[in-house]
DNA sequence: CCCGGAACCTGAAGGC
DNA sequence: TGCCTTCAGGTTCCGG
């Protein structure tokens, strides 16, 4: 599922393919994919525009247009942007196509149909409420401590709350908690200063490793050239059903936290 | 403000 | 073989 490392990989790899190209048209086969404005307005606002940049904020991909507007893409759980040629057959589950000059097209593939696009005048209306970017220098252990102070919710739920930290999703939250040896059900406010420092370091480590491995191809995530990432090969606990803890050999356990599958080592990550 | 649960989606995988 | 259940989870909305 696209989380920060997956979206960042897409940003890095799609930028040289599409920046400088002009969008010649948009086809949308699943209309609910376009949230704002109306589909007609969306088409008019996108068609004819030149792509002048691609940014990322949290899990949002921000495609900058010559008009000053931003084509916002969120891939949710199963979305992928595949760059191909005009004569290519659309991949299965393609729900929208963005045609570019030079005989290229971007296929928006999304089996679960959660992914969305919108056209925005400014960033604030879309990503204004997001928490800090975890890989920016201003995201320090002290900042993380302040965000968690007094919170009664499970740390697993807080880590995946986009208003607290932007970009961390279910998989990387499990990996970070394992790395920091913290039980996913510990409350945010119960973490010691040392544990917060460990967790901060772990979040950076797993995200950077994820980007280095071009994302995790659990489920349907694909890179713009259609290939898979390899980050999931290095997951210690996330989705490791029936596997053993690489540190102590204890079977990995799965529990549900806020209705999300949560994997951890019951021996290394104690409630205390 | 804080917390938890449901809804949106549908293919894949596993059990019987 | 085939049906049924479970699992996957980012975001938004709603109720307490």
Please give the CATH number for the structural domain made up of A4-127: 3.20.190.10
* pLDDT on residue A122: 92
Domain boundaries, chain A: 4-127, 141-264
- Mean per-residue pLDDT, A15-21: 97
The residue annotated as part of the active site, out of A111, A260, A266, A267, is A260
Q: Rounded to whole angstroms, how far apart are CA atoms A17 and A250?
A: 45
The reply to whether A131 has its C-beta less than 7 Å from any atom of strand B is no
- How many residues in chain A? 272
* pLDDT on residue A235: 92
- Mean per-residue pLDDT, A179-197: 96
pLDDT of residue A45 exceeding 90, the answer is yes
Would you place residue A35 in the very low, low, confident or very high pLDDT band (cuts 50, 70, 90)?
Answer: confident
Q: Rounded to whole angstroms, how far apart are CA atoms A47 and A119?
A: 12
Catalytic annotation present for A16: no
Would you place residue A272 in the very low, low, confident or very high pLDDT band (cuts 50, 70, 90)?
Answer: confident
CATH fold, domain A141-264, is: Helicase, Ruva Protein; domain 3 (1.10.8)
Instruction: List the nucleotides on chain B closer than 7 A to a protein CB.
Output: 2-11
Name the H helices within A94-245. Answer: 124-127, 141-148, 155-159, 170-179, 193-212
Q: Rounded to whole angstroms, how far apart are CA atoms A17 and A29?
A: 24
**Which residue is the nearest neighbor of B1, CA to C1'?**
A151
- In this structure, the protein residues whose CB atom falls closer than 7 angstroms to any atom of nucleic acid strand C are A 1-3, 58-60, 74, 76-77, 112, 114, 160, 162, 169-171, 218-219, 238-239, 241, 254, 259-261
Would you place residue A4 in the very low, low, confident or very high pLDDT band (cuts 50, 70, 90)?
Answer: very high
User: What pTM was computed for the model?
Assistant: 0.95
Catalytic annotation present for A228: no
- Mean per-residue pLDDT, A180-200: 96
Distance CA A166 to C1' B3 in A: 19
- pLDDT digits over A133-170, tens only? 999 999 999 999 999 999 999 999 999 999 999 999 99
Q: What percent of chain A has pLDDT over 70?
A: 100
Would you place residue A37 in the very low, low, confident or very high pLDDT band (cuts 50, 70, 90)?
Answer: confident
Hey, do A4-127 and A141-264 end up sharing a CATH topology, with the first three levels equal?
A: no
The reply to whether A151 has its C-beta less than 7 Å from any atom of strand B is yes
- pLDDT digits over A259-269, tens only? 999 999 999 99
- The position carrying tokens 């949290």 is A58
pLDDT of residue A217 exceeding 90, the answer is no
Would you place residue A120 in the very low, low, confident or very high pLDDT band (cuts 50, 70, 90)?
Answer: very high
Q: Rounded to whole angstroms, how far apart are CA atoms A196 and A13?
A: 33
CB within 8 Å of A1: residues ≥ 6 apart:
A76, A77, A78, A169, A170, A171, A218, A219, A220, A221
The alpha carbons of chain A give a radius of gyration, in whole angstroms, of: 20
Question: What is the dihedral sign for C-alpha A205, A207, A212, A218?
Answer: positive
pLDDT of residue A218 exceeding 90, the answer is no
Q: Which of A18, A37, A33 is nearest to A104 (CA)?
A: A18
Class of residue A79 by CB neighbours under 10 A (exposed 0-12, middle 13-18, buried 19+): buried
């Amino acid at each position: 599922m696209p989380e920060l490392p997956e979206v960042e990989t897409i940003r890095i790899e799609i930028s040289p393919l599409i920046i400088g190209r002009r969008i010649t048209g948009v086809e949308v086969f699943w209309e609910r994919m376009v949230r704002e404005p109306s589909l007609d307005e969306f088409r008019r606002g996108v068609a004819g525009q030149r792509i002048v940049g691609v940014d990322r904020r949290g899990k949002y991909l921000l495609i900058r247009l010559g008009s000053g507007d931003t084509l916002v893409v969120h891939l949710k759980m199963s979305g992928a942007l595949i760059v191909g040629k005009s004569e290519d057959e659309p991949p299965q589950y393609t729900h929208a196509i963005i045609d570019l000059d030079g005989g290229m097209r971007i296929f928006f593939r999304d089996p679960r149909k959660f992914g969305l696009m919108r056209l925005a005048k400014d960033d604030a209306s879309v990503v204004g409420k997001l928490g800090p970017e975890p890989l920016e220098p201003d995201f320090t252990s002290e900042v993380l401590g302040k965000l968690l102070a007094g919170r009664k919710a499970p740390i697993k739920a807080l880590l995946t709350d986009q208003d607290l930290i932007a970009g961390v999703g279910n998989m990387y939250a499990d990996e970070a908690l394992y790395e920091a040896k913290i039980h996913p059900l510990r409350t945010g406010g119960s973490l010691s200063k040392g544990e917060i420092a460990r967790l901060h370091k772990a979040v950076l480590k797993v995200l950077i490793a994820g980007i280095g491995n071009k994302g995790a191809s659990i489920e349907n995530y694909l890179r713009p050239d259609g290939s898979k990432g390899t980050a999931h090969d290095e997951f210690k606990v996330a989705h490791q059903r029936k596997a053993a803890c690489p540190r102590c050999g204890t079977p990995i356990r799965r529990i549900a936290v806020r209705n999300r599958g949560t994997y951890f080592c019951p021996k290394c990550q104690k409630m205390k």
